[in-house]
Amino acid sequence: MTEKDKIGIVGLGLIGGSLAIALKGRYAVKGLAHKAEDGEYALSTGMVGELARGLGDFSDCAAVVICTPLSLVRETAERLVSLYPDKIISDVGSVKGMLTGIKGRLIGGHPMAGTERKGVRAAKERLLENACYILTDYNGDAEALAFMKKLVSDAGAIPVVMGAEEHDRLVGRVSHLVHMAAYCLVDAAIEGDEEIVGSGFTDTTRVASSPPDFWNTVAALNRGNIVDGMDDYIARLTELRGKIAAGEDITAYLAAAKDKRDRVTGRRKSAGGYILYVDVPDCVGSVAGALAALAEGNISIENLSVVHSREGAGGALRLEFKDEKDCDAAREILQ
């Protein structure tokens, strides 16, 4: 297999489209979209080099990656393994246990990246950059695993090999539980048509804007791990409630949780960006002045937003950078 092998992508949405863009130039990419207009968009923008007519049109590909909705991944994998027993078949599903038992050259995949948006027009060139990309070798195929590790690296992500059971247990805690908690928190915090919310609310509940149908499928497929995580979370929330109700000093409890988060996240977010909060004066030209200083220092900003409430954020300007070097340089300039 060579670097210019052709890769098939079934499902040109946010992840499939972002993967196609990331692989462009290193591999020839052939895509299959559920909607004709999505396929035409991907082809016209150069996201893919050609379109497949159906699942039976990937015989010229070295590997096929399934990027369909989660509910369709297993049946699509079974169909592709049946059609192409000698080709490498992978996926990007967030639950890996669902593919256990399927034979063939199957390597499960899960890029730990995404946004609340969906669809091929939301695809981003750097969505996978520096993101952990889990790979699961179901049938002990060392060659197929090595190929997928290289493909993932070529897409700018970080390959991490992990068993299906371990994966589903871990993401059940750090991803699936977090989304369920966010949906529940929105339900508990918002009683009517509140117009005043702090950045603490918007930051903590950001993922509750994710597609409900997708998370309904996740909950069904990883039910046991999510329920275990929720039970543990409820127990810890109940413990904290008891301390507050008793009037206890909870500083040590909060500090321990803060230390955990700081240790695992630092300044880096899950999709590979580096975030800096900047405290700027509330006056005309202050934001422009900060941005001008960064431009003069030749610092590239990936994204920016204004935090209207400074609650807990420590600043009114939120800057996002593509790498740690730019983040550190920006911090130095703005200090």
**301 and 189 inside one domain:** no
**307 and 178 inside one domain:** no
Residue 1 lies in a domain: no
Residue 56 lies in a domain: yes
Residue 282: domain span: 274-334
**14 and 139 inside one domain:** yes
The CA distance from 17 to 121, in Å, is 8
**176 and 197 inside one domain:** yes
| Domain boundary, last residue among 162, 185, 206 | 162
**153 and 192 inside one domain:** no
Q: Which residues contact 269 (CB under 8 A, 6 or more apart)?
A: 275, 320
- The token pair that represents 285 in the structure block: 């030209």
Return the biggest CA–CA distance within the chain.
68
**125 and 23 inside one domain:** yes
**149 and 182 inside one domain:** no
CB atoms closer than 10 angstroms to residue 217 = 20
User: What is the pTM assigned to this prediction?
Assistant: 0.76
Residue 59 lies in a domain: yes
Say which CATH number the domain at 42 has: 3.40.50.720
**143 and 240 inside one domain:** no
According to the model, what pLDDT value does residue 91 have? 98
- The token pair that represents 263 in the structure block: 């240790």
Residue 135 lies in a domain: yes
Residue 85 lies in a domain: yes
- pLDDT digit of tens for each residue in the chain (335 aa)? 454 699 999 999 999 999 999 999 899 999 999 999 999 999 999 999 999 999 999 999 999 999 999 999 999 999 999 999 999 999 999 999 999 999 999 999 999 887 767 889 888 888 888 888 999 999 999 999 999 999 999 999 999 999 999 999 999 999 999 999 999 999 999 887 766 777 788 888 888 988 899 999 999 999 999 999 999 999 999 999 999 999 999 999 999 999 888 777 654 443 445 777 776 665 667 778 888 888 888 888 877 766 543 333 344 677 888 777 888 888 888 87
Phi, psi (degrees; rounded to nearest 5) at 59: -65, -20
| Domain boundary, last residue among 111, 131, 162 | 162
Residue 29 lies in a domain: yes
| Domain boundary, last residue among 108, 143, 162 | 162
**225 and 302 inside one domain:** no
**245 and 111 inside one domain:** no
Say which CATH number the domain at 216 has: 1.10.3660.10
According to the model, what pLDDT value does residue 308 have? 45
**134 and 280 inside one domain:** no
Per the structure, the count of domains in the chain is 3
**223 and 254 inside one domain:** yes
Q: Among candidates 40, 26, 24, 76, which has minimal Cα distance to 55?
A: 76
